[in-house]
Amino acid sequence: EGRPRSWTLVITVCGDMVQPRGGRISTARLGRLLGRIGIEGGALRTALSRLSADGWVTSKREGRTSSYTLTARGQKEFGPATLRIYAPPRSGPVPLWTFVPKGVTGGLPLAGGTLLPGKAHGKGLLLSGALQPGPEIWDALPAEHRQAMERLAADLRSLSETPCDPLEAAAARLLLVHRWRRLVLRWPEVPAELTPAKMTPRDLHAAVAETYARLCPPPERWLDTPDGDMAAMPKADSSVALRFAPVQST
């Protein structure tokens, strides 16, 4: 799939690890984390320069230490995205569907050569109601969407064990959130009932929530710990513990 773009990884780090800890991260710690997944110092400097020029981050220097924080614009953009990224998984099956296969106008092909009629919707077809899950719906999703889900499932299988080293775990958590973030901000969520039986895990949202909770403690210890030129970051606020958790009624 190729190496992720450096500047998008910086944005993911800011949203996942920096915002709950006062909103600022040292260049040394950012470089250590991204260096673990193959982002070299020159690429990171280029990414930070681009983000600064585009008004996403701003830098601060104190002595020999430099750090970065999101601008007001960057923080504003994060609000709606954070709600989607860390939303709790569904607690049960979905009884009603609204499905929009683009490029399909006459009806959704079903087994036996019949068509499921629907209402015209832009350049596609809108289907609403109680639909029985079947391969036709999965096959009608854009190939990029299906591929993104399959790659996320592969990531989740590879993370069945939590890395012992805190930096390793921080890198794994970063890549998991980055993959999930790109999926949920680009595509509508596909409930588990509509994913192929052969795909493991089928419920990607629930699996991401479980894996994230398991991966969280070691990276949090790494962020809490000073190391050479890296000062300890401020303690995380309560938002980290509430990620993917169901909303509690009062």
pLDDT tens digit string along 171-201?
999 999 999 999 999 998 888 888 998 999 9
Whole-number pLDDT of residue 131? 63
| pTM reported for the whole predicted model | 0.85
Whole-number pLDDT of residue 151? 94
pLDDT digits (tens, 9 = 90+) for 223-245: 999 988 889 999 999 999 999 99
Q: Considering only 5-9, 102-106, 135-139, 169-173, which range has the smallest mean pLDDT?
A: 102-106
Average pLDDT, the chain: 87
Q: Which two tokens stand for residue 18?
A: 């920096």
Q: In sequence order, which residues have a C-beta less than 8 Å from that of residue 178 and are 6 or more positions away? A: 4, 8, 9, 12
- DSSP 8-state assignment for residue 17: I
Q: How many CB atoms lie within 10 A of CB 44?
A: 20
Is residue 3 over pLDDT 80?
Answer: no
Q: Which two tokens stand for residue 25?
A: 């991260």
The whole-angstrom separation of Cα 180 and Cα 152 is: 7
